[in-house]
């Protein structure tokens, strides 16, 4: 990619923050990804002190610059921070970027950690694989080694800890239409298959059930559960007592557990706990999911009586399990075949005090962040009686202001659906724990893939497998609160269709318009809908057009544009912005040129500016906000 093209995209992303004119000032090199800055470096000969707010603004500018370049995971971004004659610092200006820099030179780290950046950069998800026409972005000053100290990793935005990194090809702007849980699982798996040229057919009106085929093999999915997981395996996993018995027989560490005899009185259950278990204990339904009816860390006979009687009163509880409470943090490991493809630490809902805001405000801000997470957007923190009880235990109320750094717990259980957080630990968990998760799945006959719940105590190294889920929400491992999201759909399609390939990187910004696909199913006019295959050209030209100022599109003009798009064979749509509509067009050079000429004639307006479109492309022609034509890092 040429310097001019790169800077055009950067300028489009940040406007007046960026310039191509070389100016005097302090020059920085920032190693940045699409969601965070890792470290800031400066020439050793320059010892000018930079205020914290200048460093933060520079990091933000570097992150925006990386986001502006399609398919760029990270870059060394060169900036200059000008200083006015009266001594005031001006906004940082991007001068250049390097997509494949060496890590040596006469620079030193002034903030962040180069070591952490190098570790992340070495991961496959961070690898820069630009389209063949974009082999090089631009070069800048020489790089540095990590001499001269380090500091805490820099964050962007409000100054909180670094945010997560979504798996490539499944960033939030690409999956905005399928935010949630099961639909996110099915939508991302179907999208991965479709991008590989496999046949995808939706068979249910909700979009959760679908079939993938390569012509020889057909695999049906219900959420993340495939037809290679047998009905018998699913039944075993649903019955926690049967599943634990099989795991115990296979040598997988599990807690001591037993089914409470039908009709047992509360005092009899206490006697069982005294005789067969070690306090504290756990009581829970033998069937169930999402933590419903699970009571942990019960330390007294009175508490056990209370929780047991509560479960007995619930009409759908069924059999009840009594088991040892095992100390340890809560982990979810997703296993496909013989591989653990993602692991995350689950943390109960909480907020961190900043010394200024009350608990209610902190919850509102955290929920605002969660709404931007494709998986956690539906699992907001909703204060209730449990929240009040936990706050009271911490001598707090909703109107109190926690101290800076104070951890305020809001839930006992770590379920994401109840506001819990998750942190990716795939590269940090001991291999023994990961191998046991794989062994747990293999211990259930006919189980092809599953989420494995593990309690692991880092201090002692002890761990147990407590449950399996044959239809687990893969979004938990794809979209953590912190850390690197894992490409679970890629691993699933790799497992079932090992001969298929992801093809060109340009397919990563192509998305399925699932709502439109499901219309015939919802109307009852079809029993199945097969997704049209990707065109062979894969939309090599993707442009973003501006009209002359003052244009307002009528409904008739929109219909004419949609018809012209079909006739020209392009995809895209109209994206409404504050000042005027914009036109997104994707196709071949000839089809894009044909359509833009038709559009100018239809509207009797000239297209005054055109640049490359780095955002999502749906097959077909759509009008936002009916279908969000979003840019990377952008939210509705």
pLDDT in tens, 287-346: 876 557 788 888 889 889 988 888 888 877 788 989 998 989 999 999 999 999 999 999
Centre a 10 Å sphere on the Cβ of residue 148 and count the other Cβ atoms it contains.
13
| Integer angstrom CA distances of residue 353 from 159, 320, 387, 404, 569 | 13, 39, 16, 5, 54
Per CATH, 3-134 and 256-324 having the same topology is answered no
pLDDT tens column, 106-147: 467 777 776 667 666 655 444 554 433 333 333 333 232 232
pLDDT of residue 475: 94
pLDDT grade, residue 506 (50/70/90)? Answer: confident
Task: Provide, rounded to the nearest whole percent, the portion of the chain with pLDDT above 90.
Answer: 42
Q: What is the pLDDT of residues 16-57, one digit of tens each?
A: 333 344 456 788 888 888 878 878 887 656 667 788 778 888
Q: If pLDDT is split at 50, 70 and 90, which confidence band does 382 have?
A: very high
542 pLDDT above the threshold of 90: yes
Confidence class for position 430, pLDDT limits 50, 70, 90 = very high
In angstroms, rounded to a whole number, what is the distance separating the alpha carbons of residues 78 and 532? 43
Q: What's the whole-number mean pLDDT along residues 219-240?
A: 95
- pLDDT category at 409 given cuts 50, 70, 90 is very high
Question: Residues 535, 570: contact at Cβ < 8 Å?
Answer: no
Q: What is the mean pLDDT of residues 387-416?
A: 92
Sequence-ordered strand ranges (E) for 56-165: 74-81, 93-98, 107-112
Q: Which residues contact 18 (CB under 8 A, 6 or more apart)?
A: 7, 10, 11, 61, 65, 93, 94
* 205 vs 552 pLDDT, higher one: 205
240/466 Cα distance (integer angstroms): 9
Secondary structure of residue 258 in the 3-state scheme: strand
Q: Which residue has the higher pLDDT, 306 or 431?
A: 431
Question: Alpha helices of 69-112 — where are they, by DSSP H?
Answer: none
CATH superfamily of 256-324: ATP-grasp fold, A domain (3.30.1490.20)
The CB density around residue 275, as the number of other CB atoms within 10 Å, is 7
**What is the structure's pLDDT at 162?**
52
The domain over range 541-623 is classified in CATH as 3.40.50.1370: no
In angstroms, how far is CA 586 from the centroid of its own chain? 26
The arrangement of strands across the sheet holding 218-222 comes to: 225-226, 218-222, 209-213, 199-202, 529-530
Q: Indicate the domain borders of the chain.
A: 3-134, 172-224+489-530, 256-324, 541-623
Residue 5: pLDDT over 80:
no
Model confidence at 464, in pLDDT bands (50, 70, 90)? Answer: very high
Mean pLDDT of the chain: 82
Q: Which pLDDT does position 358 carry in this prediction?
A: 95
Q: Which of 78-92, 387-401, 413-427, 439-453 has the lowest mean pLDDT?
A: 78-92
CATH 3.20.20 fits 3-134, yes or no: no
Query: Is the pLDDT at 528 greater than 90, yes or no?
Result: yes
Distance CA 632, CA 244 (A): 44
For residue 414, the SS3 value is coil
**Chain segment 205-225, per-residue pLDDT in tens:** 999 999 999 999 999 999 999
Q: Give the mean model confidence (pLDDT) for residues 80-105.
A: 73
Which pLDDT band, with edges at 50, 70 and 90, does 6 fall under? low
Percent residues over pLDDT 70 in the chain:
81
Contact 179, 480 (CB under 8 A): no
pLDDT-wise least confident of 146-160, 168-182, 189-203, 366-380: 146-160
pLDDT of residue 110: 79
pLDDT at 607 over 90: no
Asked whether the CA dihedral 564, 566, 570, 572 is positive or negative, the reply is positive
The yes-or-no verdict on residue 160 having pLDDT over 50 is no
pLDDT at 287: 82
Q: Would you state the pLDDT for residue 22?
A: 42
pLDDT at 97: 81
DSSP 83: B
**Segment of 99-103, 123-127, 272-276 carrying the highest mean pLDDT:** 272-276
pLDDT band for 469, please (50, 70, 90 cuts): very high
> Model pTM greater than 0.85?
no
Looking at residue 165, its pLDDT comes to 83
Q: pLDDT value at position 501?
A: 87
Q: What is the pLDDT of residue 380?
A: 93
Residue 273 makes CB contacts below 8 A (sequence gap 6+) with: 279, 281, 301, 304, 322
Q: What 8-state DSSP symbol labels residue 548?
A: P
Report the distance separating Cα 114 and Cα 112, nearest Å: 7
Which one, of 189, 137, 100, 267, lies nearest residue 471 by Cα? 189
């Amino acid at each position: 990619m040429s310097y001019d093209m790169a800077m055009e995209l950067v300028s489009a992303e940040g406007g007046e923050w960026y310039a191509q004119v070389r100016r005097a000032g302090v020059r920085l090199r920032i190693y940045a990804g699409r969601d965070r800055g890792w470290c800031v470096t400066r020439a050793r000969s320059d010892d000018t002190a930079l205020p914290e707010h200048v460093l933060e603004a520079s990091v933000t500018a570097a992150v925006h610059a990386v986001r502006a370049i399609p398919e760029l995971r990270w870059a060394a971004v060169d900036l200059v921070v000008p200083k006015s004659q009266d001594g005031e610092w001006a906004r940082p200006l991007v001068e250049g970027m390097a997509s494949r820099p060496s890590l040596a030179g006469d620079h030193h780290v002034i903030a962040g950690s180069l070591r952490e950046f190098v570790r992340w950069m070495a991961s496959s998800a961070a690898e820069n694989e630009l389209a063949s026409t974009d082999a090089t972005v631009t070069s800048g000053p020489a790089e540095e080694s990590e001499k001269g100290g380090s500091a805490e990793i820099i964050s962007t935005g409000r100054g909180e800890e670094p945010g997560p990194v979504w798996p490539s090809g499944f960033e939030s702007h690409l999956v905005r239409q399928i935010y949630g849980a099961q639909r996110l699982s099915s939508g991302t798996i179907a999208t991965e298959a479709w991008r590989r040229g496999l046949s995808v057919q939706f068979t249910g009106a909700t979009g959760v059930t679908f079939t993938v085929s390569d012509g020889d093999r057909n695999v049906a999915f219900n959420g993340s559960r495939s037809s290679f997981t047998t009905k018998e395996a699913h039944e075993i996993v649903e019955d926690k007592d049967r599943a634990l018995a099989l795991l115990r027989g296979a040598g997988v560490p599990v807690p001591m557990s037993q089914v409470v005899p039908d009709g047992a009185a509360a005092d009899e259950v206490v006697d069982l706990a005294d005789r067969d278990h070690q306090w504290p204990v756990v009581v829970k339904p033998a069937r169930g999911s999402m933590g419903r009816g699970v009571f942990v860390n019960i330390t007294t006979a009175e508490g056990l009586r209370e929780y047991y009687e509560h479960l007995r009163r619930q009409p759908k509880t069924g059999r009840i399990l009594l088991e040892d409470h095992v100390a340890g943090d809560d982990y979810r490991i997703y296993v496909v075949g013989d591989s653990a493809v993602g692991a995350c630490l689950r943390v109960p809902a909480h907020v961190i005090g900043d010394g200024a805001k009350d608990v209610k405000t902190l919850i509102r801000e955290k929920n605002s962040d969660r709404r931007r997470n494709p998986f956690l957007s539906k699992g907001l923190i909703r204060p209730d009686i449990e929240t009040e009880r936990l706050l009271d235990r911490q001598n707090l109320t909703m109107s109190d202001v926690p101290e800076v750094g104070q951890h305020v717990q809001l839930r006992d259980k770590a379920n994401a659906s109840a506001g819990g957080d998750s942190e990716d630990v795939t590269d940090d968990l001991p291999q023994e724990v990961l191998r046991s998760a794989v062994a747990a799945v293999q211990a259930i006959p006919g189980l092809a893939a599953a989420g494995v719940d593990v309690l692991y105590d880092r201090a002692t190294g002890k761990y147990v497998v407590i449950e399996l889920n044959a239809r687990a929400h893969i979004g938990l491992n794809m979209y953590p609160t912190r850390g690197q999201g894992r490409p679970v759909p890629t691993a699933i399609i790799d497992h079932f269709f090992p001969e298929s390939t992801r093809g060109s990187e340009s397919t990563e910004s192509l998305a399925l318009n699932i709502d439109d696909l499901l219309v015939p199913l919802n109307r009852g006019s079809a029993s199945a809908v097969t997704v049209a295959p990707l065109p062979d050209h894969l939309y090599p030209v993707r442009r973003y057009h501006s009209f002359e100022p003052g244009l307002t599109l009528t409904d008739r003009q929109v219909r004419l544009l949609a018809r012209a798009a079909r006739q020209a064979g392009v995809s895209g749509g109209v994206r409404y912005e504050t000042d005027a509509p914009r036109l997104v067009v994707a196709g071949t050079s000839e089809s894009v040129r044909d359509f833009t000429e038709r559009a100018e004639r239809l509207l009797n307006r000239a297209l005054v500016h055109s640049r490359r479109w780095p955002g999502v492309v749906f097959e077909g022609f759509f009008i936002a906000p009916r279908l969000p034509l979003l840019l990377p890092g952008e939210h509705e």
